[in-house]
Structure 1
Amino acid sequence: MTGTEPEKTARARLSGLDGLRGIAALFVVLHHCRLFAYPGFPVDNGPPWLSPLLYGHLAVVVFIVLSGFSLAAAPAQRDWRLGRVRTFLRRRAWRILPAYWAALLLSFLVARFLVTETPDVVPTGKSLLVFGFLVQDAVSAPSPNSAFWSIAVEAQLYLVFPLLLVLRRHVGAITLMVCVCTGVILIRLLSGQVPVFASLLHATPEFAVLFTLGAVAAGVLAPGARHRVPWPWLALGGGVGIAGLIAVLGSVRTVSNYFWIDLLAAFPTAALLAGLAQGRPRGLVRLLDTAPLRALGSCSYSLYLVHVPIVAVVSRLLIGPHVPAGLPAFLLTTVIVLPVALVFARGFAAVFELPFQRHRSAAALLAAARASLSQRGSGTGAPPANTLPDAMRTSNSEG
């Protein structure tokens, strides 16, 4: 399907976002390889060159800002109008839940019958219910997969996204950001005096700021948006500042202050996305838009969902009994996990993610399945012509 000229321009501006999403997912995989090889987190007991891998949480910051940006990219070009809220929520559920539920079942089975991620923490039937209904940040249950905590938070942000767009349209970007930031910071400051605020901290309320900032940053795609803002330089300066702050604080104090670090890291992340959306810097856009990184980005959600049980099996069953903790364990774990996780994620995405991304309803998915079976029965190998554009499309859009 070929789009109109404005649609082509919008897609060109969004080049590179898949690559960034893929790199963030790969960073989380390496983060967990390090955690399994070096016990004692958040203490930094490894070589300095591995220290950045302690902060896999910051890759989730990138995911949340990027999610807000991607979801708001199309509404920003339509005067911040979303369309039918019911349709939006249905599409979000259709997009994220099939792969999530499949990964939940996989993680549960691995933890019950092979190896647990955390010794003596075995998921139960309650875990399936709590995590299946995405209430793990509100209801306690043994976790089958430590990466799942952020999925619940993001699902809750989807529920407020339509309201954010209404506020962006009527009160403007600055007022919206001030209101969200003020509310979230008050929750943090008053959490010691107000019990309900203390309980809200488990839901990482700062992610509401990250998500909103990402949505606001998508305003660079709106008609008449300014193109002279030095977004790449703002991103670079902010990123260097965050890196310097983390170096000064050290790993223990950084992890214990993730609330504030997350808020600070959101701004250079949003600036980077704004720059990439406008095609700057060109070299980075071209790099992120290379075929390998686009391919990595197309299965980044699946990679994020399934990598933890793979790391657990490799580290606890294959490496741990034979190699002492430390650098040898990390290197061996990484060498095995990366190819296995990438290949498995590609296959997992092909079954549980990409079909639901390409076909927006159960009827469309069943029709595609029947067409595929019909082709096999007739001996033709090529997909129908009208499915080629969807099959070739990457996961740039969150819609």
Structure 2
Amino acid sequence: MTPDNCGAKVIGKIESLQALRGFAAFFVCLMHFAMDNDWNVDSSHHKNSYFVARLLGSFGASGVDIFFCLSGFIISHSIITRDYTPSIRNSLTFLIKRAFRIFPAYWIALLGGGASSQILGADFNFLKDNMSLRSIFLMTNKITLLPQAWTLAYEMWFYIGIFLIVSISHKKTFLYSLSIWAVCQASILILNRFNILHITYFTLSNPQIMEFFLGVFASWTFLKTGRYAVPSIISGLVIAIWGSVVCYSRLGHNGSLFDGERFFFFGIPGALIIYGLSSLERLGKFSPPVIACRIGDISYSLYLWHTIIMALSIYFIWVFPLYAHVDISIKIILMMVVSLIVALTSFRCIELPFIKIGESLCKSDALNALRSGRLPNTPTNTSRPH
């Protein structure tokens, strides 16, 4: 899950998308706080804590699927609602802005993850082995120092695909090109499923990658009509609740939803709800809570830093025995408050400055020169040589 700026003049008016991002990040954090801290406690002695952990764990995972659908919706909407021509400059502008939004905050959080691993007792070799180039540049979904960053690797795969399509496709053919990509991606997944192909690369073997295209379809439908907004929201909520119940029933047996099941139970509902809420807002029938929108602003930093706060909470359990006896609900509230404060600081001190740097770079002479086909600072001579 990442912030975005493409087509900000258009997308910035759809506050419900930002609010959804805030809710998704909030519930992912709650899920990790509840499930990943040795708090799968004996239900006979801690019934309330056990219930809270399972409930948040069953529903919170849907936040990731909502992130993927949101990315597909926002990126495709921002491109098809503006005039552009296929060029290296346009595609590089897109990729540079995305890179400056994702990598600086991610790299600093990755260092934070490395520092927290040392605090928790890992040796330096562990840090060295897990700070690989593949992890640094999000070319793998196994990022030990910052486990939740696996989703960013999928985001980058989608962004690189958009970069290539924007390079060669006109606005009128953009959706057709995306559709061809989606069909190819789905075909590989199906052939893998029936053991006709044996591709193991993560972005070609996980059905969750198709959730980006669900977002694209939701964006296209949003531009066509908003008449199905309410039925879409209701349908999405019913399927999502169904998926949460299934997930809840499995958590007691150390199980969860499979990737293909997540596509159905969380991905499709995510796209339906995104379409429905954005359509209602456009029709003037829905206004999202302001606090959810503000959490949406800092959602990327919140997503990056919350597991580091969680690791420090584990350390406090070791150092301060009394803290270990604090109820899980109190621990979750404390970690959530600290995570929000850290996320706000990260957003203002890391994300925003680097966003401005990326935007300035995209306006530089070197990038503008790509449009004219000449070197920067080289005067244009229209006279014919003699």
Pairwise TM-score range, normalised by the shorter structure? 0.7 to 0.9
Task: Tell me the distance in 1 between the aligned counterparts of 2:270 and 2:214.
Answer: 9
Confirm or deny: 8 A CA contact 1:303 1:345 kept in the other structure.
yes
Q: State the partner residue of 2:131.
A: 127
Percentage identity across paired residues of the two chains: 23
How many residues were matched structurally?
A: 344
> Per the alignment, in what secondary structure is the counterpart of residue 127 of structure 2?
coil
Q: State the partner residue of 2:380.
A: none
> In the alignment, which of 106, 109, 115 is matched to residue 109 of structure 1?
115
2:142 is aligned with 1:144: no
**Residues 320 and 219 of structure 1, relative CA distance in 2, 3 Å threshold:** farther
Deviation at 1:77, TM superposition (A): 2.2
The gaps in structure 2 that reach 5 residues or longer are: 1-6, 365-386
> In the alignment, which of 63, 87, 99 is matched to residue 93 of structure 2?
87
**Residues 133 and 247 of structure 1, relative CA distance in 2, 3 Å threshold:** closer
Deviations 1:251-293 (A, max 9, x none): 54752623322344211110111112212598994234x1x22
Confirm or deny: 8 A CA contact 1:58 1:262 kept in the other structure.
no
**Residues 317 and 248 of structure 1, relative CA distance in 2, 3 Å threshold:** closer
RMSD, aligned α-carbons: 3.8
> In the alignment, which of 336, 339, 342 is matched to residue 337 of structure 2?
339
Deviation at 1:305, TM superposition (A): 0.7
**Residues 64 and 202 of structure 1, relative CA distance in 2, 3 Å threshold:** closer
> Per the alignment, in what secondary structure is the counterpart of residue 213 of structure 2?
helix
**Residues 256 and 227 of structure 1, relative CA distance in 2, 3 Å threshold:** closer
**Residues 203 and 248 of structure 1, relative CA distance in 2, 3 Å threshold:** same
Confirm or deny: 8 A CA contact 1:66 1:214 kept in the other structure.
yes
What amino acid sits opposite 1:348 in the alignment?
S
Q: State the partner residue of 1:187.
A: 192
Q: Tell me the TM-score normalized by structure 1.
A: 0.73
The gaps in structure 1 that reach 5 residues or longer are: 1-5, 367-399
Confirm or deny: 8 A CA contact 1:164 1:212 kept in the other structure.
no
Confirm or deny: 8 A CA contact 1:15 1:285 kept in the other structure.
no
Q: State the partner residue of 2:53.
A: 50
Confirm or deny: 8 A CA contact 2:93 2:362 kept in the other structure.
no
Q: Tell me the TM-score normalized by structure 2.
A: 0.75
What amino acid sits opposite 1:268 in the alignment?
P
Q: State the partner residue of 1:25.
A: 25
Q: State the partner residue of 1:69.
A: 73
2:301 is aligned with 1:302: yes
Task: Tell me the distance in 2 between the aligned counterparts of 1:281 and 1:7.
Answer: 16
Task: Tell me the distance in 1 between the aligned counterparts of 2:55 and 2:70.
Answer: 21
Task: Tell me the distance in 2 between the aligned counterparts of 1:322 and 1:51.
Answer: 25
**Residues 243 and 282 of structure 1, relative CA distance in 2, 3 Å threshold:** farther
Deviations 1:159-204 (A, max 9, x none): 112456757633786x7655543332332342xx75x42x335876
Q: State the partner residue of 1:378.
A: none
Q: State the partner residue of 1:369.
A: none
Q: Mapping of 1:237-256 within 5 angstroms? A: 237-247=238-248, 249-250=250-251, 252=253, 255=256
**Residues 48 and 126 of structure 1, relative CA distance in 2, 3 Å threshold:** closer
